[in-house]
Amino acid sequence: MKISTICISIISYFFILLFVYAAVSKILDFENFQIQIAQSPLLSTYAGITSYAVIIAELLISFCLMFPRYRIYGLYSSLGLMTSFTIYIYLIIHYSEFVPCSCGGILEKLGWDEHLIFNIGCAIMAAIGIYLSVRLKQRFLKTSLWIISTIIFSFSLVLIPFLSSEQMMKKNNNFIRRFPHHPIVQDKSLDLGANSYYFAGISNGKVILGNYISPLTITEIDSSFTTFRQHTIKLDHYDHPFKSLTLYIRDSHFYLADGTVPVIYRGNLNTLSAKTMSYKKMYFDQLQVLDSTQIAFRTFNPNTKIRSLGILQSISGNYHLNDDIIKKQKDGLFDTDGQLIADSRTNTYYYIYYYRNKIITIKTSENSVSEQNTIDTTHIAKVQSTILSDGKTKMTAPPLTVNKMATACWGVIFNQSNLMGRFENRDQWKTNAIIDIYNTQNKSYSGSFYVQNRHKNKMTGMLAGNNYFYTLIGNEIIRYRYAQTIMEDFRKGEAENLRSE
């Protein structure tokens, strides 16, 4: 037997072993393999077809390599597949926004650079096998052209998804989440001794908490995140039938509001004395302070029979309702329910529907309203309701909740989703809250991260600041540091806001 024939056999059996082992490993842990593909910055939107195509290709190539009659096709296919893997890894390392985890299996101990070297070696080995096979037939020129064509085709096979996947992922997502490495990292935690706190805001670098049980108590977390102090607010009038007195912080001022009275107080954090700034102007069920002159609120408009958003001018006391922002789909009550949040850094407020994949951005400085979708596919609110004999609307079945709560900073929204995306691990959902990040400047999805439960306690509140992300879980407040990618989104939002001013 000639040496060239022996070399061809060795190369063929090497690829058979490599591809069969790789294919079987993927099949045995197929769910995890799909999750890994879904996290790829290049292949996220093609995770379904790619996960099957790679396994089928590896098995078909192995089959061809087993038989001398089809071995040359197997070697060309091996060259193409290893070239595709090489180009893919090169793009991941040099052009990806983040580098995902390495694949498992026989090469799980290798990093991305080692993978690149290994794949280049395999591609060269396949090319050598092809030349040795053709040498027996003396067709070098034609073989070289075929090898070059195979490399070009393989390059295109990877480049096209690379160019289109990011656009589809960020703007036309089909509910596939991306989890960059450590977008937030836990920094510190503090035991508050109770679980009745909520976030009121941030002032001078200090986190301010309100308390559902003690509504006139302000809790101030020091910047070192080691101690907290509590103060009692004094009101100019207490004789109101309060039901839900809520605290809001804006710069050095605080606001207390109860929309069922309805009343809004305003005071200074230095004096802790509050005076009535609005009384019986309008009823509301949600409120957000935009600046010292404007307050956004949500109310139920009896004329249109749907929820409406409005702006209260704190100086004049006048308010204006906009009936065109919140859109009715079914009953106008439950289907329009959502959360009103404000971005204190940009004087922008947002309305995020609970039961459909829609975020509304309202910029007061530009008097503009725009919309963008969250990445899930629930366009129509899945709520069922009926009108009772007394005219009240009652929900007749539990609704499908899409978005649970949100917070915003510098045009970046952190939204807690209630739905599991494609190719995600169900066990993770049992022990974590899922947070999706949206950039409202370019209306895109930036990525997601998990906030882990603590001692079976789930997250009850979250707040985004300039430098830290905060959560309330059980009796604790936890502070996290942002990764560089999130800080870059903040800087883009800051620059955009400065330009608009």
Crossing angle (nearest 10°) for helices 112-135 and 3-28? 140
- The string over 28-44, giving b where at least 16 C-beta atoms fall within 10 Å of a residue's C-beta and e elsewhere, is eeeeebbbbbbbbbbbb
CB 82 within 8 A of CB 126: yes
In a domain, 161, yes or no: yes
Same domain (yes/no): 153, 195:
no
Predicted pLDDT at 138: 53
Regions of the chain where pLDDT drops below 50? 102, 104-105, 169, 498-501
Same domain (yes/no): 342, 242:
yes
Task: Single out the residue in 170, 200, 216 at which a domain terminates.
Answer: 170
Domains contained in the chain, number: 2
Q: Which residues contact 472 (CB under 8 A, 6 or more apart)?
A: 195, 197, 198, 199, 459, 460, 461, 462, 478
Same domain (yes/no): 360, 281:
yes
- Quickly count helices (H) and strands (E) in the chain: 8, 27
Predicted pLDDT at 172: 52
Instruction: For residue 30, give the DSSP letter.
Output: H
As given in the structure block, the two tokens for residue 466 are 């300039």
Same domain (yes/no): 467, 332:
yes
CATH number, domain containing residue 239: 2.120.10.30
In a domain, 178, yes or no: no
Predicted pLDDT at 253: 94
CB 154 within 8 A of CB 81: yes
Residue-wise pLDDT tens digits, 182-194: 889 999 999 999 9
**CA distance linking residue 415 with residue 448, whole number of Å:** 9
Residue type at 246 in one-letter notation = T
Task: Single out the residue in 127, 147, 170 at which a domain terminates.
Answer: 170
Same domain (yes/no): 465, 412:
yes
In a domain, 203, yes or no: yes
Same domain (yes/no): 145, 254:
no
Same domain (yes/no): 365, 249:
yes
Same domain (yes/no): 329, 260:
yes
In a domain, 177, yes or no: no
Predicted pLDDT at 63: 94
Same domain (yes/no): 311, 340:
yes
**CA distance linking residue 180 with residue 98, whole number of Å:** 6
In a domain, 107, yes or no: yes
Task: Single out the residue in 109, 135, 170 at which a domain terminates.
Answer: 170
Same domain (yes/no): 159, 247:
no
Q: At residue 288, what are phi and psi to the nearest 5 degrees?
A: -140, 135
Q: Which helix (H) or strand (E) holds 191?
A: strand 184-191
Range of the domain at 249: 184-500
Angstrom CA distances, 393 to 326, 340, 402, 498, stand at: 18, 22, 21, 45
In a domain, 179, yes or no: no
In a domain, 175, yes or no: no
CB 364 within 8 A of CB 295: no
Nearest to 353 by CA among 385, 384, 325: 325
In a domain, 450, yes or no: yes
Same domain (yes/no): 251, 398:
yes
Nearest to 199 by CA among 498, 459, 470: 470
Same domain (yes/no): 165, 226:
no
CB 372 within 8 A of CB 359: yes
CB 216 within 8 A of CB 235: yes
Predicted pLDDT at 397: 79
